[in-house]
């Protein structure tokens, strides 16, 4: 199984900050990586797929990069609506696996 490791697990930031979250795969997944945002009590929302493609309707301040085993999600200017937990997910092979999550908190 492919293990997905996110860092940091918690991140404290202020509105307007540039924020970067890292996701590492235990083996190469080429570009088969997605990012989701989840708020408490709500279902996750797809932000990024194929490592860097922005999902329709997702704000352009979100961007993704990387390939192989190292990936990043960047929020260019953190907005109040962005305080949430973010998950990466590999879809290179079954079983599909998620990272442990990164909680973005208000500083």
Partner 1 sequence: EVQLLESGGGFVQPGGSLRLSCAASGFTFSSYAMSWVRQAPGKGLEWVSAISGSGGSTYYADSVQGRFTISRDNSKNTVYLQMNSLRGEDTAVYYCAKGAPTTVFDSWGQGNPVTVSS
- Among positions 84-103, residues that touch partner 1 (CB under 8 A) are 87, 89, 91, 94-101
Which of 5, 24, 44, 83 is close enough to bind partner 1 by CB under 8 A?
Answer: 44
- Among positions 47-86, residues that touch partner 1 (CB under 8 A) are 49-50, 55
Measured between alpha carbons, how far is 35 from 88 in angstroms, rounded to an integer? 4
Nearer to partner 1, 32 or 75 (CB): 32
Cβ atoms of 47 and 62 within 8 Å: the answer is yes
Measured between alpha carbons, how far is 69 from 78 in angstroms, rounded to an integer? 26
In angstroms, what CA-CA distances link 43 with 36, 56, 67? 10, 17, 27
Q: Which residues bind partner 1 (CB under 8 A)?
A: 1, 34, 36, 38, 43-46, 49-50, 55, 87, 89, 91, 94-101
């Amino acid at each position: 199984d492919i293990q997905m490791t996110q860092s940091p697990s918690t991140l404290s930031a202020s509105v307007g900050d540039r924020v970067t979250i890292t996701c590492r795969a235990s083996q190469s997944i080429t570009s088969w990586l997605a990012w989701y945002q989840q708020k408490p009590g709500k279902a996750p929302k797809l932000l990024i797929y194929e490592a860097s493609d922005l999902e329709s309707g997702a704000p352009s301040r979100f961007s993704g990069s990387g390939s192989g085993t190292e990936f990043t999600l960047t929020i260019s200017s953190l907005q109040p609506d962005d305080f949430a937990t973010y998950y990466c997910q590999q879809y290179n092979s079954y079983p599909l696996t998620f990272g442990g999550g990164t909680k973005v908190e208000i500083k």
